Structures are given as structure tokens and as C-alpha cells.
Amino acid sequence: MDAVSLSDSDVVEAIDGVHLAQLAAGEKMSIQHFHIEPGAKVPEHSHPHEQTGYVTKGTLIFLVDGEEISVSAGESYVVPGDEPHAAENRGDVPVDGLDIFSPPRLDVPWMED
């Protein structure tokens, strides 16, 4: 068994205002912490991984097929694999939360776009 602390993880600013930290990863899933500053936007992207998540602070707006879906602290979500999606923090406070990917997602390809 592995235990991984957020305080021991490298935090990467994937794009302006979007900070990611890879946490534990197994053979079938991985978990990452996200911190998204007010006004920051995650550009539209897709990946083969199914993505579930949980917002612990703030409100994140997902953009999927022209629809806006608001996810606030205490709420969870699921993004099917290969579904194009984007996200924005339109609030005045940072958004914090966790994403779980299956199969494991250990890289962030859109960081290099």
C-alpha cells in the first residue's frame, strides 16, 4: 500500500492559475488534487480516461456540448472518457478539489498545447 500526502506532492501550474498535484496512483486509477484560481480557465480537451471528481471549495463551471454545468463545494461529477470538456472558475475564491481517473492518468497532455 502507498500513502501520498498533498504536502509531499509536486504542484505544477499546468496553465495560468491551474495548479495540479499528482497524488496516489494504482494499476486501475489515479487521483490528483486541483486548485484553480479565480478567473482561470481549463481549455477544452478530452482524454480516454473516465474522470470523476469532487469539489471541496468554490464553484467550478464545466462547459460540455455548449451546456454549462455548475459544480459547487460538496458536489461530485463524472466526465465519460473521450468527452470534450472545459472548466472555468468564475467566482471570487479559488476552487479546490480532487479528480480520479480510470485508467490512471499520470500526465497532463494539454499542458503542452
Range of the domain at 38: 6-112
Helix, strand or coil, per DSSP, at residue 112 = helix
Angle at 4 between CA 14 and CA 19, to 5 degrees: 15
pTM score > 0.85 for this model? yes
Coil vs helix vs strand at 31: strand
In sequence order, the β-bridge partners of residue 105 are: none
Domain contains 1: no
Q: What is the CATH number of the domain that holds 92?
A: 2.60.120.10
**Window from 31-35, 62-66, 109-113 with minimum mean pLDDT:** 109-113
The cell numbers describing 41, all together, are 480557465
Q: Cell triple for residue 58?
A: 468554490
Q: What is the pLDDT of residues 59-105, one digit of tens each?
A: 999 999 999 999 999 999 999 999 999 999 999 999 999 999 999 99
Domain-located, residue 65 = yes
All three cell numbers of 25, joined, read 496512483
92, part of any domain: yes
- 7-30: per-residue pLDDT in tens? 999 999 999 999 999 999 999 999
Give the pLDDT score at 107.
77
Domain count, the chain: 1
